Chains A and B, each alone.
Chain A
Amino acid sequence: MEGPFVASTAMRGRWIRGAAAAVALALVVTACGGGGDDGGDSGSADADAGEVTPGGKVVYGLEAETADGWCLPEAQLAISGIQVARTIYDTLTRPNADGEYEPWLASAVEPNEDFTQWTITVRDGVTFHDGTPLDATVVKNNLDAYRGAYPGRSPQLFIFTFSNIASVDVVDPMTVMVTTKVPWTAFDAYLYGSGRVGMMAQAQLDDPVNCADNLIGTGPFVFDEWVPNQRFVATKNPDYWATDAEGRQLPYLDEIEYRPIVEVAQRVNALDSGDINAMHTSDPLTISDLQAQDESGEISLTESIDFGEVTYLMLNSSKPPFDNIKARQALAFAFNFDDYNAIRGKGILTRATGPFAPGNVGNLDETDLPGFDLEEAQRLVEEYEQETGQPLSFSYTTTQAESTVADAQFWQQAAEDAGMEVEIITVDQSTQIDAALAGDFEAIAWRNHPGGDPDEQYNWWQTGSPVNFGRFDDPDISRLLDEGRSNPDDDARVGIYEDLNRRFGEEVYNIWNYYTIWSVATAPDVHGVLGEGPTSADPFPGLAVGIPPAYLWVEQ
């Protein structure tokens, strides 16, 4: 496949495989979440935008600061951090409109016949912001840093994420060969890694002190200034290598500034007052209000659940009461999603039937996940109590935000209606992550699994994995994960992951709640939110890992 900025493609038809950044997104322990109607709206805001007018500035309100900075292999990035990373860095691959991965900073990414070796051809003529050239050596060093094989860098979850890599070798000055331990059909998805597996310049990679705030990439914008809790400013990269589908030089903007505005109401106020001209949120109640503003023409709203995350209640299957399937089923039967949606989501949420959002491989409209049936829930509670001689009681751990506590109270009421006893434990986010890591919980509010290839979820669900927080030990799920990782047949993989989805429904390891809606609201004169695909004007429709800032433009 040829395009204005992609020499060739190593695509196998496959779906987006966002990646290890799910890691960081797991840190986004369900604060409020969102869900909702299919984004769909994506391109509509730009339909009548007219001709692109380069220049100008966008001030983008983020939901959080990334206090630890952007030493990418080590950084823990949630969506706000990924958005900034995508401003400075490019990834080797990028998803297209169908969620298939295409080369981006690489000019080709090709597997061998049995998917045990991947050849990455580095794009020619690209330089980092410090003027050094992009070549095979720096790509190898970056990949080694991500997988924990580069001196001086200490990645965390990426060690698990890239544990299937046996070696990374430089073949020639512009070619890198990655050899895997077992066939890895979704490796090109991992090179995108939910937009956060960017390529850093050698100088940043080797910086022992300032790696986190000495940002040097090849991306559309050059790092200018970062004042924590205040602003992150980047200016147009005049030597950026990419053009849009019509051959226009990217990026369109002269400057982009990110401002962390933690309080969502203030973020909206800032947008409405013109203090900023773009922002993101996943809070359903806020999105509902923004939809009204969009309809009245005050703002433009782009929203999506495609390839998104799932908001759910994670159950600890390693200890009572949820080591008993009857307890898990009872709680699932007790949960009335329609009421939840009406009360907590203003009716805009879409029920999640499994961990795979629309667009993803393995997504199903129906699974065996129990729906609301209070009598069945009560019957199962009685059975559980007769069987164990214990009341069905559990703790529900969540963060202290008003919205998450309100969610917890909804679940508490639902469970108590079915005869269960629920203690709500509110903790700060760090403690919640501690609890998940240590398995010190019974039920915990959670949000994770942003879109991409289901193989990206491998570590979250594999038996014995330290990040299998629910601690379920299911040979069928482990087998399906292994099969899905190595099977080269697309249709077969669809079947494998649909089976995996159904298995989750049957065993009720988690109670899936809704597909998180991510939305980007802008002033009416700001366009290009979804951008374009790597080789065509059709954009990738997901918003769960931010937007490509190179395509943002402001009417001049």
Chain B
Amino acid sequence: MPVLLRRFIHLVVVLFCVTLFVALLTSMLPGDPVNSIAGFAPEEQKEQIREQLGLDDPIPVQYGRWLSDFVTGDLGSYWTVTGDRPVVDRVKDALPVSIQLMVYAQVLALVVAIPLGVATAYRAGSRFDRGSNFTAFGLLALPNFALALILAYYVGVQLGWLPVTGYVAPSEDFVEHLRRMAMPAIALAVGQIAVYMRLLRSDMIATLQEDFITMAKSKGVSPRRVLWRHALRPSSLTLLTVAGLNVGTLIGSAVVIEVIFSLPGLGSLLYESITSRQYIAFQSLVAIIAVGYVMLNFLVDVLYAVLDPRIRHARA
């Protein structure tokens, strides 16, 4: 079966499982979502809303209705007494913010972690290596919401270097955009840096023991070239896998970070959907994230082949 078809089936199965699970979980939540929409409305009005939204239907029927809408691109609506608002309108605004944040965080994490991983592997056991490891453990132990508040206080308030809240679109003012995304991206990236650095270091140490590295060294290849051209590529597979899988962690963390820094991204939207019991919106947002996540990991699989010729040849 072609890889793309296999991946597509994988995507459909994951999407089905995740959204079904979300539908079941939300149905088990205590309370009545109509009370969030119109808590103080007369009972007849509540009943009317319930009927209009199909909340009295069995869960499979509700889920089927949502799924058939979703696959045709209808993400549903935010229910309000005033009128329904299409989720897609909100997603259009929020999605770019979250993607920007995650890309910045991921790039920052990799840009810092890769040189550190390579350097600590090369100098394994040295004071620099021990210091870097010690720092990495420290960063791993620091929750990102705490780091966010610490950064905001010291970098934003005490030093006055960066604004502590709000979002500016890159099209509006790119420099200001970067200034406002810097602290949220750092808060998200720091934990990842530690993980990536440790992973790469371990793999690099193993790779540096390989025969082909010894061969390269014996042929007089410079240490820099050995590290960056010969050892890094085969050592990056685990890093790449984890970087792909970590997108899930980033999304989870982004919910908190976006709320702290008042960024109007998907995290804030998810938070709003949960707190206001907008189940349809919540389900659609989770589905969008699931699709993005699976597709990203598909991309990671493709990159394996680029990084490692053995995989490419095996597939061929």
Q: Which residues of A contact B (CB under 8 A)?
A: 23, 27, 61, 65, 67-69, 71, 74-76, 154, 156-157, 159-160, 208-212, 227-231, 259-263, 265-267, 269-270, 272-276, 427-431, 433-435, 437, 466-467
Contacts and interface: CB of A to CB of B under 8 A. Distances in A.
B36 interface: yes
Interface string B80-102: 11110100001001100000000
Given A229-B264, A434-B32, A259 B166 contact: yes
Contact of A434 (B30, B42, B165, B272): B30
Contacts of A159: 41-42
Contacts of B222: none
A230 B80 CA distance: 20
Given A156-B39, A230-B166, A266 B90 contact: no
A80 B75 CA distance: 29
Contact of A273 (B93, B163, B264, B269): B163
Contacts of B166: 230-231, 259, 270, 275
A261 B165 contact: yes
What are the 5 tightest A-B residue pairs by CB atom distance, in nearest-first order? A434-B31, A157-B40, A229-B264, A156-B40, A230-B264
A269 B152 contact: yes
Contacts of B167: 230
B38 interface: yes
Contacts of B260: 263, 266
Contact of A259 (B83, B160, B262): B262
B32 A230 contact: no
B31 A270 contact: no
Nearest to B149: A265
Interface stretch (B207-215, B274-282, B306-314): B274-282
B143 to A, nearest CB: 13
Contacts of B153: 265, 269
A266 B152 contact: yes
Assign chain B's interface to a size class. 35 or more
A65 B167 CA distance: 15
B156 interface: yes
17 contacts: A65-B272, A71-B82, A154-B38, A212-B83, A227-B264, A229-B262, A229-B264, A259-B166, A262-B262, A265-B152, A266-B260, A270-B166, A273-B160, A275-B163, A430-B31, A433-B39, A466-B40
Contact of A67 (B30, B261, B272): B272
B157 interface: yes
Given A65-B272, A230-B264, A430 B36 contact: yes
B35 A156 contact: no
Nearest to B268: A229
B169 to A, nearest CB: 10
Interface string B265-303: 000110010111100000000000000000000000000
A69 B89 CA distance: 15
